[in-house]
Amino acid sequence: MTKKFAVLGSPISHSKSPQIHLAAYRFLGLDWEYHRIELEAGQLGRVTGKDYAGFSVTMPLKHDAFELATKRDELSQGTRVANTLLRLDSGEFACWNTDVKGLANALVSAVKNPARVCVLGAGATATSAVLAAELIGAKAVTVVARRIEQASTLAEKLVTPQLQIVPQTPEELKQASDFDLVISTLPAGLDPSALEQFLTPAVITAPLFDVAYKPWPSPLAERWIAAGSSVHSGIEMLLHQAILQIRVFHSGDIFKELPDEAALLAVMRAAS
């Protein structure tokens, strides 16, 4: 049976989700469609009444997706953001946050056992990045935002006894000691001049995982490359979280594995 899915957000023209999902559907023998729809915050209602079975959700709609859902997984409840929506038989929606585990799976290839992690940005994706860092063994995460209240709000929301979360401004970051890993959730279109305030010695010498993937290298990744430090593209996060999304779309169960996921991931990576 044909089902329709779509990725929602703004900007959305750069998204590689359609080719990744469609390649996966073909591999799995699913006669499904997957579209790209430009929507701003507050506009989810424009599509939820249409005949879509589910949605991938990106910025700026992750908070809206969480609020829309009447059934929520544990990670979306913990972060209060969601990137996956599935229509229930009732017509209501369930939501999941696949960003956390998707990013954690991607980070494993970037660095092993990072004790001290720095997250640049304090938005919805940064929230998931902090929990992903904890999943791969981080003991302390510094969250850096130009507005300290944003970083502080994130830290207060994610209080956990296993993880120390320290909010800082870029100015305070200048006094920081070395990190084992930097995760950037900064927008890909951020003015290059605005990036300079984040480029302290403690940051730029650590491996960078940039959630941005188009264009690649991103302006931030170019700074890391120029400094001789290692960089990792956000395309791996996109692929790993998409696997989890397709599990949800396929069975409604994020823990039920798809057939031959290793081969499936290779097909999706080739399509990206």
To 10 degrees, the CA torsion angle through 50, 56, 60, 65? 70
Same domain, 75 and 13: yes
As a whole number, mean pLDDT of residues 254-266 equals: 97
pLDDT tops 90 at residue 95: yes
Q: Per the domain annotation, does 104 fall within a domain?
A: no
Same domain, 118 and 91: no
| Domain limits for position 13 | 3-98+236-271
Comparing CA positions, the residue from 183, 181, 175 lying closest to residue 201 is 175
Q: Model confidence over 18-77: pLDDT tens digits?
A: 999 999 999 999 999 999 999 999 999 999 999 999 999 999 999 999 999 999 999 999
In the block, which residue shows the tokens 């506009």?
43
**CATH number of the domain where residue 43 is located:** 3.40.50.10860
> Residue 29's closest CA among 272, 246, 269?
246
pLDDT of the residue at 190: 77
Instruction: Let me know whether 45 and 73 are in one domain.
Output: yes
Q: What is the four-CA torsion angle of 156, 158, 160, 163, rounded to 10 degrees?
A: -100
pLDDT band at 161 (very low <50, low <70, confident <90, very high): confident
Q: What is the model's pLDDT at position 206?
A: 93
Per-residue confidence band for 111, with pLDDT thresholds at 50, 70 and 90:
confident
Is the pTM above the cut of 0.95?
no
How much is the pLDDT for 144?
95
Span 189-237, pLDDT tens digits = 777 777 888 888 889 999 999 999 988 999 999 999 999 999 999 999 9
pLDDT at 162: 86
Counted domains in the chain:
2
d(CA 108, CA 222): 22
